[in-house]
Amino acid sequence: MRPSCAFAVAVCCAVASGGAQQTAPRQTTPQDSAAQTTLTVQTTLVEVPVLVKTKSGQVVFELKADDFLLTDDGAPQKIRIEQDTDAQPLALAIVVETGGAGARHIADYEQLDAILDALVGNVEHRVALIGFDSRPQLLMAFTHNTEDVSERLSRLNPGDNGAAILDGIAMAVDQLRAQPPRFRRAILLLSETHDQGSKTTLNDALRLISDTNTTIYSFGFSSTGAAVSHEASKWERLNEPGPAHGCFSRDGTDPVSMTEYEGHYSRQVLDCISELAPPLRLATMAFLAASDGLRKNTSESIAKLTGGEFFHFHDAKDLKAGLIRIANDVPNYYVLSFRPTSVTPGLHALHVQIRNRPQLVYRARSEYWIDSDDETR
């Protein structure tokens, strides 16, 4: 039987002491119904989607759990392959840029009815639409009618010069979290490649992307070089990876270290990483790599971090071809699940390998996040 999962192939990062939390209502009595008490349930299950193909592009169906090796911060995990995940309902948030360079692509989003139907599949579903320029806006709340969403997509209005991608994603994640826990979650992002003007910091964005069971599929058109340079310099200042006066601080720990690393901060970071214990080293490297990716190509990194897919597009023809490819690929994902042997708070680095199959190529989620007790309160 071939593995299957729907468009929102669930990457469940709900983990003990943190991660995406699920809230289930408890039975109430007349005496306590006014209190509206809920029971918060946390699970240690982590799910990782993996798409496996031959080098010629043919999907591989016959792999078993024993064919995979999955590590969490370098530690091998006992895994299983989830079956029939595409039978679960789906909540899909479409996030589309109407400002900046996005204004030139508004016409590309017309007549997507049939493709949206193919993406959500034949399951119970809800679809919402969020537009953004320098700020995000909920254009259509969740509805089961994809025709209504497609019609609203066909009459978008141009926005201002902003392209606040991370703010748009933050709103989408917030909207998705309000959906019932039984729904899987996905985001379809249509934007330029580089964030311009988001108030959401890189660190906050990384946690948002990593601590929810949401897979992101991204379609990007090029940002202007001047905008990329300007915004990247802003993110550099916002994304200091360590506390002041620590090993990772740009201030250095003492005058000697400042002399040694002056003008070579990347060398300082690598030396600091080498001093960490192996699990912390892997997690720190994953954090730095993810943050760097979000600076250089926001839309592509967002997709890859969640195990989704990224496509460049220039016009409506490119967009539709990519959407059809996603609709064809997604039912063929393997979904690996495991219960982490370590629940250390923060970012965890995931690595997937296929045993004794060097001829195969594959794509998988690369990280997930565990909240600390303080962050979940």
CA distance 341 to 33: 39
In a domain, 252, yes or no: yes
Q: Both 125 and 269 in a single domain?
A: no
pLDDT digits (tens, 9 = 90+) for 163-189: 999 999 999 999 999 999 888 889 999
Q: Both 131 and 250 in a single domain?
A: no
Write phi, then psi, for 49 (nearest 5 degrees). -80, 140
Q: Which of 287, 325, 286, 289 is nearest to 308 (CA)?
A: 325
Q: Find tokens 């915004």 and name the residue.
A: 231
In a domain, 25, yes or no: no
Q: Both 50 and 121 in a single domain?
A: yes
In a domain, 328, yes or no: yes
In a domain, 31, yes or no: no
| pLDDT beyond 70 at 264 | no
Which pTM was predicted? 0.76
Q: Both 64 and 165 in a single domain?
A: yes
Write phi, then psi, for 33 (nearest 5 degrees). -65, -30
Domain closes at, from 278, 305, 335: 278
Q: Both 91 and 156 in a single domain?
A: yes
User: Does residue 74 contact residue 355 with C-beta atoms inside 8 Å?
Assistant: no
Burial class (CB in 10 A: 0-12, 13-18, 19+), 323: buried
Q: Find tokens 């699990």 and name the residue.
A: 279
| pLDDT average, residue stretch 318-346 | 88
In a domain, 370, yes or no: yes
C-alpha angle 347/353/358, rounded to 5°? 150
Compute the half-sphere exposure of residue 165: CA atoms within 13 Å on the CB side of its CA. 34
| pLDDT beyond 70 at 234 | no
Domain closes at, from 246, 278, 310: 278
CA distance 166 to 299: 9
| pLDDT average, residue stretch 247-254 | 52
Q: Which residues pair with 53 in a beta bridge?
A: 59, 361
> Residue type for 246, please?
G
Write out the two tokens for 164. Answer: 């606040």
Range of the domain at 252: 238-278
User: Does residue 37 contact residue 235 with C-beta atoms inside 8 Å?
Assistant: no
DSSP one-letter code for 34: G
Would you state the pLDDT for residue 222? 85
CA distance 1 to 57: 20
Would you state the pLDDT for residue 214? 82
Q: Both 227 and 123 in a single domain?
A: yes
Q: Both 264 and 373 in a single domain?
A: no
How many Cβ atoms are within 10 Å of 53's Cβ, its own excluded? 15
In a domain, 49, yes or no: yes
In a domain, 27, yes or no: no
Q: Both 255 and 328 in a single domain?
A: no
| pLDDT beyond 80 at 201 | yes
Q: Which of 170, 95, 167, 109 is nearest to 135 (CA)?
A: 167
| pLDDT beyond 60 at 236 | no
Would you state the pLDDT for residue 269? 57
Q: Both 304 and 377 in a single domain?
A: yes
DSSP one-letter code for 27: P
* pLDDT band, residue 329 (cuts 50/70/90): confident
How many Cβ atoms are within 10 Å of 49's Cβ, its own excluded? 25
Count of structural domains within the chain: 2
CA distance 94 to 119: 12
| pLDDT average, residue stretch 32-52 | 60
| pLDDT average, residue stretch 322-331 | 86
CA distance 371 to 153: 36
* pLDDT band, residue 203 (cuts 50/70/90): confident
Q: Both 259 and 120 in a single domain?
A: no
Write out the two tokens for 150. Answer: 């497609």
Write out the two tokens for 283. Answer: 């997690």
| pLDDT beyond 80 at 36 | no
Q: Both 146 and 253 in a single domain?
A: no
In a domain, 223, yes or no: yes
Q: Both 247 and 233 in a single domain?
A: no
DSSP one-letter code for 107: G
Domain closes at, from 278, 301, 328: 278
Q: Find tokens 């493709």 and name the residue.
A: 115
Write out the two tokens for 101. Answer: 């360079």
| pLDDT beyond 50 at 368 | yes
Q: What CATH number should be reported for the domain holding residue 163?
A: 3.40.50.410
| pLDDT beyond 80 at 148 | yes
